[in-house]
C-alpha cells in the first residue's frame, strides 16, 4: 500500500507497437469502466506507451477511450476512472499496424525497463507485459530469447527463469523454454527439473495460496519411455528428479505419460504440471483455454504476468483483437501482488 493507503496500480508495458497490444489495452480499459469496475473485475493499470499513437489508434478503431498522459503512477491511479492513464514512452518512428519497425525497439525495451523500476520502487504493484515481436527487437540489438529471460536478467537472477502458463483449471511449467525440440532434449536434466519443481512449488504457495502444492511431472518420451524401449530419459533423469523433489518434502509424482496428463480427471489430481519442452506445455493449455491463458514468470522478486498470445500482426489495427487474455493477466497480477502484500 502507498502512504495514502491506496494500493499502487499495475504497470502495463506497450509491447510491439505494430501489434495488438495497444488495441487490447484500450479495450481492457473500456471494460474496466462502468459496471465491471464496480465489482473490481479489472484492476487499475497505467500503460507505458506513446499517448499520441494510442489516441490515433482509438480513433481508427472507433473506441471512445479518452487517453491522458500522466507524470506518475499515483496520478494515473487517481485518473483511471475517467481516462486511460499513460506514462509517456515516445516512439522513434510512425507505427503501421502489422509492420514492426526496429527503430521502435528501444522504446519497447525502455517500457519494460521502466515498468520493472516502478514496481521495484513500490510505485507499481506488478508488471504486466504486452506481447513483443522478438524479430524486431533482435534487429534493434536485443540479445535475449524472450520476455521471460530478459526479466530474469533485469532481476539479476543467476538461475534459469521459470515460466508458468495458467488458465482456469490448468497450470503448466515447461522445464525448457525457448529452444528447438532438438536442443531441448539434452537440456532436460535432473538439475533443470529440480529447479523448476522447487520454484513452482514455492510460487504456488506464495503467490497462489496453495498450502501443499501438488506437482505432476510429465515424461519426455511416448508411453513414459515404455520401460526404456522408447528412451531412457524417464529412468535416468526424470524419475530420479521426482524422487529428489519428494525427498525435499514436495508432493511430486511422475514421470507421467503426457498423452494422459491433461484430460479433466487427470487435471484434478495436481496443481501444476511440469512439462519437458515448450509445446508439451502450451498445446494442452491453449487447447483447453485459448482466450484467457496467462503467462507468469516465477521466482522473480516482483510479480510479472502477460497475455498468453503473441502480437497477432495479421489482425493488428482491424479491431478484431480480444482483450480476454490481457484482462486475465491483469487480474492474476493483482491477485498475486495482493498475496505478497499480505
Contacts of 73 (CB under 8 A, 6+ apart): 8, 9, 11, 46, 87, 118, 123, 124
CA–CA separation, 70 and 87 (whole Å): 5
147 is known to lie in a ligand binding site: yes
332 is known to lie in a ligand binding site: no
Q: Which residues pair with 307 in a beta bridge?
A: 294
286 is known to lie in a ligand binding site: yes
In order of 58, 84, 246, 277, the CA distances from 305 in angstroms are 24, 20, 28, 20
DSSP structure class, residue 282: H
DSSP structure class, residue 224: G
CA-closest candidate to residue 250, choices 218, 272, 231: 272
- Report yes or no: 251 and 212 within 8 Å, Cβ to Cβ: yes
Side-chain-facing half-sphere of 158: CA atoms under 13 Å: 0
309 is known to lie in a ligand binding site: no
Q: End-to-end alpha-carbon separation of the chain, Å?
A: 10
CA–CA separation, 187 and 19 (whole Å): 32
Binding-site entries for substrate: 147-148, 286, 295, 304
Specify binding-site residues: 147-148, 178, 223, 278, 286, 295, 304
Which residues line the annotated binding site for a divalent metal cation? Answer: 178, 223, 278
Amino acid at each position: 500500500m502507498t502512504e495514502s493507503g491506496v494500493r499502487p496500480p499495475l504497470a502495463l508495458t506497450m509491447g510491439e507497437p505494430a501489434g495488438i497490444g495497444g488495441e487490447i489495452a484500450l479495450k481492457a480499459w473500456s471494460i474496466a469502466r462502468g459496471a465491471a469496475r464496480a465489482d473490481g473485475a479489472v484492476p487499475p493499470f497505467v500503460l507505458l506507451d506513446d499517448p499520441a499513437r494510442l489516441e490515433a489508434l482509438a480513433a481508427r478503431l472507433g473506441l471512445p477511450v479518452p487517453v491522458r498522459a500522466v507524470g506518475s503512477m499515483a496520478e494515473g491511479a487517481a485518473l483511471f476512472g475517467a481516462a486511460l492513464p499513460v506514462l509517456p514512452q515516445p516512439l522513434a518512428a510512425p507505427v503501421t499496424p502489422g509492420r514492426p519497425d526496429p527503430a521502435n525497439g528501444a522504446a519497447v525495451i525502455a517500457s519494460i525497463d521502466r515498468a520493472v523500476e516502478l514496481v521495484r520502487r513500490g510505485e507499481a504493484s506488478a508488471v504486466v507485459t504486452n506481447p513483443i515481436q522478438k524479430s524486431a527487437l533482435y534487429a534493434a540489438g536485443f540479445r535475449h530469447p524472450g520476455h521471460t529471460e530478459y526479466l530474469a536478467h533485469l532481476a539479476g537472477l543467476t538461475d534459469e527463469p521459470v515460466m508458468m502458463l495458467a488458465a482456469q483449471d490448468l497450470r503448466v511449467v515447461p522445464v525448457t523454454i525457448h529452444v528447438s525440440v532438438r536442443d531441448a532434449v539434452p537440456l532436460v536434466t535432473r538439475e533443470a527439473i529440480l529447479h523448476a519443481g522447487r520454484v513452482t512449488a514455492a510460487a504456488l504457495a506464495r503467490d497462489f495460496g496453495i498450502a501443499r502444492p501438488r506437482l505432476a511431472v510429465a515424461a519426455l518420451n511416448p508411453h513414459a519411455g515404455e520401460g526404456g524401449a522408447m528412451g531412457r530419459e524417464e529412468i535416468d533423469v526424470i524419475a530420479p528428479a521426482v524422487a529428489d523433489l519428494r525427498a525435499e518434502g514436495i508432493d511430486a509424482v511422475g514421470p507421467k505419460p503426457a498423452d494422459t496428463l491433461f484430460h479433466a480427471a487427470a487435471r484434478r489430481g495436481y496443481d501444476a504440471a511440469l512439462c519437458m519442452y515448450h509445446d508439451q506445455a502450451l498445446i494442452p493449455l491453449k487447447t483447453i483455454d485459448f482466450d484467457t491463458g496467462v503467462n507468469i514468470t516465477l521466482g522473480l522478486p516482483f510479480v510479472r504476468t502477460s497475455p498468453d498470445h503473441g502480437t497477432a500482426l495479421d489482425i493488428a489495427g482491424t479491431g478484431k483483437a480480444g482483450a480476454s487474455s490481457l484482462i486475465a493477466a491483469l487480474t492474476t497480477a493483482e491477485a498475486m501482488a495482493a498475496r505478497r502484500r499480505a
